Amino acid sequence: MTTTNGHTNGHSVRKLNFGAGPAQLPYELLENVNDEFLNYHGAGANIMELSHRSSTFAKVIQDAEQDIREILSIPESYAVLFLQGGATAQFSAIPLHFLNLKPSQTADYLVTGYWSEKAAKEAEKFGKVNWVVPKESKYQGVPTEASWKLSADPSYFYYCANETIHGIEVDDIPAVVPKDVPIVCDMSSNFLTRPFDITKFSVVFASAQKNFGISGVVLVIIRKDLVGKNTNKSIPLILDYKIQIDNGSMYNTPPTFAIYIASKMFAWIKQQGGLKAINERSDEKSSLVYQTIEQSNGFYVNFVEKKYRSRTNIPFRIVTSGVPDEKLETLFIKEAIQSNMIELKGHRAVGGIRVSLYNGISVEEAKKLVNFMSTFQTNNS
């Protein structure tokens, strides 16, 4: 049987998954994983059945680190860690390590949506947090930098590069942050969709299940010298960066299968032409959706300021008579499923519809979605 994305599946039609995570993986990668599933490189077992101390898995995690270092030009002064607990665990690990880095014992948090708000609230459990901008009732952009209230000498500045739920993307470090302030960034939902200079950051972390793998592993890229400055002796060992660095991400049993998939994705990204090619694809895919919204004469509405519109997560409403039409949105999702497109329902905090265009979604698949959007509008205007 032929799938919606042109591939065959012996049992059922393979659907296009526009979900916010766990997300769709490239089909050719899944085929490769399937080929290796019962007998990984002659080992007579699946990679997830082998010891994390085995030479076979050691090569997997070494290749993964080597590839991500190559993709991002990560210098040896940074550690690359494959950890558990998702990005959420880093909401605790970051302040535990670095809130006391400077005499102010204060961290600046730029809160632009659901996930940066959660991170700020978690950090407040461990010390003083300065909210750079007031909490918004609705997140639809980023307040102008002139209105920000930065601390005099914060231990670090924290922001989320892409808010998965609200569809807000900050594509570079804010210019008003002093250059001597360590920058910490949650890149979970736009990591490896565009090039960036890792040396501008002190810590970058990203959960894998959106752009480079499956749930179960979070990648942390961190300045080694910063870890050495930590004075907190009460950090739980599972969150302790020094312990993880000293043990090569294997103080305890790591998520071996998730690391294996991440390694496959890093190799796939290199095969596509690296981040330059991925960035161009990301631009093209998101432009297709935003153009369809803009040309719908108000039928589809995205409420995010254009400057901050995310390329990976696009929430929108279907509007009739000036208000969101939940019945039409329900019909949209139902008919999308009938057209073999799934996971388009918006997050409960925002409602409506959300399209996620991670690395596993091709340009051709994005075109199928916008064709459906246009047809749906024609049939329901």
Q: Is residue 186 flagged as an active site residue?
A: yes
Distance CA 74, CA 311 (A): 24
* Sequence-separated (6 or more) residues with CB below 8 Å from residue 86: 207, 215, 218
Judging by beta carbons within 10 Å of its beta carbon (0-12, 13-18, 19+), is residue 136 exposed, middle or buried?
middle
Among 15, 210, 285, 345, the active-site one is 210
Q: What is the 3-state secondary structure (H, E, C) of the chain?
A: CECCCCCECCCCCCCEECCCCCCCCCHHHHHHHHHHCCCHHHCCCCHHHCCCCCHHHHHHHHHHHHHHHHHHCCCCCEEEEEECCHHHHHHHHHHHHHCCCCCCCEEEECCCCHHHHHHHHHHCCCCEEEECCCCCCCCCCCCCHHHCCCCCCCCEEEEECEECCCCEECCCCCCCCCCCCCEEEECCCCCCCCCCCHHHCCEEEEECCCCCCCCCCEEEEEEHHHHHCCCCCCCCHHHCHHHHHHCCCCCCCCCHHHHHHHHHHHHHHHHHCHHHHHHHHHHHHHHHHHHHHHCCCCCEECCCCHHHECCCEEEEEEEECCEECHHHHHHHHHHHHHCCEECCECCCCCCCEEEECCCCCCHHHHHHHHHHHHHHHHHHC
Distance CA 198, CA 247 (A): 23
Among 186, 240, 264, 345, the active-site one is 186
Among 102, 115, 240, 345, the active-site one is 115
Q: Is residue 125 flagged as an active site residue?
A: no
Judging by beta carbons within 10 Å of its beta carbon (0-12, 13-18, 19+), is residue 263 exposed, middle or buried?
buried
Residue type, 8: T
Catalytic residues: 115, 186, 210
